[in-house]
Amino acid sequence: MLVSIVVPFHNGGKAIRNLIYSLLNLSFENEYEIIFVDDSSTDNSSEIVANLTKKVSVKCKYIRLENRRGSFYARNRGIELAEGKIVAFIDADMIPDRNWLKYLVEPLLDNNVEGVCGKTIPAKEDIIIEAVKVAPSGEELAYGFGSGNVAYRRDVLLAVSGFDERFDPKFRGDTDLGCRILKAGGRIVYEPRAIAYHPIKEIPLIKLWDYTRGHIHDPLFYKKHKDLIFSSEKIKKTLGSTFTQPFIGPLSLLGLMSISTLGMLITFAYISMLFLLYVVISLIILWVAFFVISGYKFASSIPKGRKVELKLRFKASIHILLYMLFLLLFRAYGSFKYKQFFI
């Protein structure tokens, strides 16, 4: 049975070279094809793909999108080109284990399974603090269904119209797809033996705004799947930590606290702008002090016996403060955009 592997990429560079080597050397008894969807790269990614797949026994396809459309749009084009009955997805900056495809496909041989999620782990172990480095140490990278290490039956993907491209740039669309398949009566299982490695990514402060932008789609996800969000703890966790998950209806604990704080600040502003400035500065200092002393323990995944240096704690306190502010702003914008209040 033919299996299609879809690899969307934009400016893949060196990372996609390593991925291609791995994909061409998978331990897989059946035939498989690799479909590379170039989301309008401006580097030498296309040349790398062409050179490394020129004379290989594995069937490879390449399609280039002239205008950048986003990863979910690219994945949908890959589904259209796929000839296999099973479609697997992996990100361009990931490295699959040699037995990755074997174990990812195995559960789909059961007619009662429509999708399989593999286990994604960091390429190296490190101290992780949310919003500074993206990846728990030694654990799965994300809740939900992901799109970088997952496989579905192609007929099921077509039946639900693939990925919802409104979630581009890439955010929430992978979990949305999984939710729609579950609602259609499909079964999605977790296969921890299907391992793929993902690099731990630093998030520079200047890129935090762009990194957080995807939360515009949170209200759309809430609008489409509020029933599943409140009935499944796993789906609820896709919306973040306890502070950013729905707490009272469409209000997260963070949203409730921010509304209360905003009301307090407006009151202080009415009394005195100088007093308002004093209160804001005091709150920021208290937050940083709390985080540096002990708060970092709640926002990190730290290997036992490891210490987090003071510099990283301070850096993380600023990152997370801005991250929460940006998240609230983007969710507020998304509430207007999708006509669904969720903050």
114 close to 188: Cβ distance less than 8 angstroms: yes
pLDDT in tens, 196-219: 998 877 778 888 898 899 999 999
Query: pTM for this one?
Result: 0.89
Give the residue from 102, 121, 123, 80 showing the smallest Cα distance to 1.
Answer: 102
Q: Distance between CA atoms of 338 and 179, rounded to whole angstroms?
A: 18
Q: What is the mean pLDDT of residues 252-262?
A: 91
Q: Is 266 exposed, middle or buried (0-12, 13-18, 19+ CB in 10 A)?
A: exposed
State the DSSP string of 81-115. H--SSEEEEE-TT-EE-TTHHHHHHGGGGSTT--E
ω into residue 107 within 30 of 0, thus cis? Answer: no
Taking CA atoms, 36 is separated from 46, 47, 49, 158, in Å, by 9, 12, 8, 19
CA atoms within 13 A on the CB side of 210: 6
pLDDT value for 129:
64
Token pair, residue 122, equals 């960091």
Q: Tell which wins on pLDDT, 166 or 243.
A: 166
Spell out the domain ranges in the chain: 3-202, 206-343
CA 143 – CA 244 distance, rounded (Å): 14
pLDDT band at 75 (very low <50, low <70, confident <90, very high): very high
What single-letter DSSP state applies at residue 24? T
Helix axis angle, 310-337 relative to 218-231, nearest 10°? 100
**Residue 138: predicted pLDDT:** 38
Q: Per-residue pLDDT for 109 more than 70? A: yes
- Of 316, 206, 332, 318, the C-alpha closest to 258 is 332
Right CATH number for 3-202 from 3.20.20.140, 2.40.37.10, 3.90.550.10, 3.40.50.2300?
Answer: 3.90.550.10
Asked whether the predicted pLDDT for residue 233 surpasses 90, the reply is no
Closest to 78 in 3D by CA, of 152, 134, 141: 152
Q: Which two tokens stand for residue 109?
A: 């041989």
Average pLDDT, the chain: 88
pLDDT above 90 covers a percentage of the chain that reads: 58
User: Which contacts (CB < 8 Å, 24+ apart) does range 104-111 have?
Assistant: 104/149, 104/150, 104/151, 104/191, 104/194, 105/3, 105/28, 105/30, 105/151, 106/191, 107/189, 107/191, 108/151, 108/153
Q: How far apart are CA 111 and CA 156, in angstroms?
A: 12
Please give the pLDDT value at position 296: 77
How far apart are alpha carbons 297 and 293 in whole angstroms? 9
Residues 229-251, mean pLDDT to the nearest whole number: 89
Find residue 153's DSSP bridge partners. 86
